[in-house]
Amino acid sequence: MKRPITALGGLPSDRAAGFGRRDLMRAAGLAALLGASGGLGLGLPAAAQDEALIAAAQEEGHVMLYTASEESIIAALSAAMSDKYGITLEYQRLNSRDVAGRYSAEAEAGKTVADVILTGDPILIDDFSAKGWIAPIDASQIPGFDAWPAEFKNDHSVIVSINPQTVAINTDNLKAPITSWQDLLRPDLKGQIVTVDLKRVGLVAFAAYDLMLKTYGEEFLTKLGQQDPRLFDSGPSAIQQLASGAAAAYFPASTTQSQSMIDMGAPVQAIIPEGEPYTGVMSPVAISANAPSPNAARLFVSFVMSEEGQKILNEHTASPNNTPGTGELKPGFVPPDMESSAANKDKIIQLMGL
């Protein structure tokens, strides 16, 4: 891993809201301390460590994120990073499978481009960590890490968002309300359901189907496949079809996918049946072992754990530390079992006749 940058040449003093001239003078003093101590987080008070990280991140100036998260959310995080720190958040937004493929190809070639990766597949991040592509987390270098709930962090990543999986409906097209997952098997929904093509997407999409398999058995998935669902290569494509009126229901639709259409005025509603189990996407963020901008990457991770970052990231989804102003995690949530999803992947495809 690259050593933290401590020089302050070229530091933007006007763009960084809340980081004025006095702060810069203090940061200059911190740079001297850092030069003597050998890096961030070595014996400095917490506030000084925070300022040192900001100064080092601003020297790098930008951070590159690979993610499958909604465009509007990432754009809002980018604007906030720019306003607060004067740092440019660049990003590549692809579906989860393409994020994994691109990151892997670059890592195998020894040409790391992404400083950070934010994905809905914790197992993928664990696998990348085992291959040496993900940097271990030093809590002293990431403000807020120590206070994060233990069940949502490990030595190389932090779960920063929980995005419930729902059934999204077109309120103009649906003939009767959906009050149970079993309602997806109703005759009036035959040919009226859209979903992602499980042969073309990543493992994240399988968790909801895996939960249905465990809860209702193989017959449920077989009958769901007999509803002649229309397949699309990604969640955004499927939700757009629903919003356009080409279908009555989309399963499984993430909360953010539905909200993106609701915000545009589309007749879309996201439903989680009361009293029934549901799952969702748990998204970890991790730093590349060979990140080109390691300090900006640490600052980004710290920011998405902060109250401000959590409100942006989880306005409609759930915050792992229950940050006020974020979406509610309703009763019945079952953490996605990615190992089971992987084991049952081919079985799910076969049962649904895809």
Q: What's the CATH fold of domain 162-279+334-351?
A: D-Maltodextrin-Binding Protein; domain 2 (3.40.190)
Q: Kind of pairing, strands 230-232 and 193-196?
A: parallel
Which has more pLDDT, 201 or 301?
301
Q: Where in the chain is the domain with CATH 3.40.190.10?
A: 162-279+334-351
Contact in structure between 32 and 55 (CB atoms under 8 Å): no
In whole angstroms, what is the distance from residue 105 CA to residue 121 CA?
A: 17
% residues pLDDT > 90 (the chain):
74
**Is 28 a residue whose pLDDT tops 60?**
no
DSSP-derived 3-state class of residue 345 = helix
Contact in structure between 290 and 132 (CB atoms under 8 Å): no
pLDDT tens for residues 251-275? 999 998 899 899 999 999 999 999 9
In three-state form (DSSP H/G/I as H, E/B as E, the rest C), the secondary structure along 274-313 is CCCCECEEEEEEEEECCCCCHHHHHHHHHHHHCHHHHHHH
pLDDT of 3 reads 31
What is the rounded average pLDDT of the residues 17-43?
40
pLDDT band per the 50, 70, 90 thresholds, residue 47: low
In three-state form (DSSP H/G/I as H, E/B as E, the rest C), the secondary structure along 149-167 is CHHHECCCCEEEEEEEEEE
Return mean pLDDT, the chain. 87
Candidate ranges 118-127, 186-195, 232-241; pick with highest mean pLDDT? 186-195
The mean-pLDDT minimum among 42-56, 94-108, 236-250, 317-331 falls in 42-56
pLDDT tens for residues 132-169? 999 999 999 999 999 999 999 999 999 999 999 999 99
pLDDT of 88 reads 97
Q: Could you tell me which of 71, 106, 124, 56 has the C-alpha nearest to residue 283?
A: 124
**Is 90 a residue whose pLDDT tops 80?**
yes
- pTM, two decimals, is 0.74
DSSP of 312-340, one letter per residue? HHTSSSB-TT--TTSBP--TTB----HHH
**Is 20 a residue whose pLDDT tops 50?**
no
Q: Kind of pairing, strands 249-254 and 158-170?
A: antiparallel
What is the rounded average pLDDT of the residues 28-42?
41
DSSP of 164-203, one letter per residue? EEEEEEETTT-SS---SGGGGG-GGGTT-EEEE-TTTS-G
In whole angstroms, what is the distance from residue 316 CA to residue 311 CA?
A: 9
Distance of CA 52 to the CA centre of its chain: 27
226 DSSP 8-state letter: T
What is the rounded average pLDDT of the residues 203-216?
94
